[in-house]
Amino acid sequence: MIQLIAADLDGTLLDSSKRLSPDLFPLIRRLRQEGIRFAAASGRQYDNLRMLFSEVADEISFISENGAAVYDRSTCLFADELPKEYFIPPIETIRTLPDVNAVLCTHAGAFIEGSTDPVFVQNARMYYERLTIVPDLLPVLAEQPAFKLAVFEKAHAETGCFPILQAHRDHFAVVLSGADWVDLMNPQTNKGTGLMHLAEHLGIPLENTMAFGDYLNDAELLKTCGCAFVMENGHPDVKKLAHHIAPSNDANGVVRAIENYFA
């Protein structure tokens, strides 16, 4: 019996134009009437997710920052934190890489170093509602506990910065989060552990959870849930984890798969 559904955003709930289906919010409300909770599970910032889901934000839960910050409505259930000295070596590495930039993620907001790359700034603002541009990230670490470093390289993250950043696996899980993004975060924290925190809070067994994803940062979420859907447009390695394949994100796949499952 499914009691909780968690779905990734980019490549899953959002279409290629970054739009949510107009059918989603009515579906969330119908599920809630049937006692089924819904959670947005994303690498995006909590504030960004609340904005996207503003119409139903007080009716759902949020597994944000790839599991580093978990909320039920507006109540924080889990907030990760890593030693500040862990972040200095990867920041210094990123500064040496051309066309590679970083977002320092803290519970006081996200921070980027002053950048002349408008593509990076535009993409950072897409995922981080609370975003501050500073001259240097290192002084921020002295004032704000951080939990993630999101690294941007337009269209080439997998073959570009991703293998280079493996050098920092002593303190971080280095996770490919999309075609443009690599996340460095606590190796013990991911969307799967986020689902565990949320399910425990709600008193729901993990076998009664369903999840949707498309990319490598969804792997632990899909392994943890009781019923795993991977999008038709999903990464080939992630499809190996699927119990079911959902239609693509551009075919309203999540809504269609849920409606068919409960038909």
The predicted-structure confidence for 99-143, as pLDDT tens digits, reads as follows: 999 999 999 999 999 877 999 999 999 999 999 999 999 999 999
Task: Please tell me the predicted confidence (pLDDT) of residue 116.
Answer: 75
Secondary structure (DSSP) of the chain: ---EEEE-TBTTTB-TTS---TTHHHHHHHHHHTT-EEEEE-SS-HHHHHHHTTTTTTTSEEEEGGGTEEEETTEEEEE--B-GGGTHHHHHHHHTSTT-EEEEEETTEEEEE----HHHHHHHHHH-SSEEEES-SHHHHHHS-EEEEEEE-TTTTTTTHHHHHGGGTTT-EEEE-SSSEEEEE-TT-SHHHHHHHHHHHHT--GGGEEEEE-SGGGHHHHHHSSEEEEETTS-HHHHTT-SEEEPPGGGTHHHHHHHHHT-
Question: Which tens digit of pLDDT belongs to each residue from 8-35?
Answer: 999 999 999 999 999 999 999 999 999 9
Task: Please tell me the predicted confidence (pLDDT) of residue 115.
Answer: 72
Task: Please tell me the predicted confidence (pLDDT) of residue 86.
Answer: 98
Task: Please tell me the predicted confidence (pLDDT) of residue 218.
Answer: 97
Contacts of 122 (CB under 8 A, 6+ apart): none
Question: Which tens digit of pLDDT belongs to each residue from 146-160?
Answer: 999 999 999 999 999
Task: Please tell me the predicted confidence (pLDDT) of residue 161.
Answer: 98
Using the predicted structure, report yes or no on whether residue 162 has a pLDDT greater than 80: yes
User: Which pTM does this prediction carry?
Assistant: 0.91
Percentage of the chain modeled with pLDDT above 90:
96
Q: Are 189 and 67 in contact (CB under 8 A)?
A: yes
Using the predicted structure, report yes or no on whether residue 251 has a pLDDT greater than 90: yes
Task: Please tell me the predicted confidence (pLDDT) of residue 114.
Answer: 84
Mean predicted lDDT score pLDDT of the chain: 96
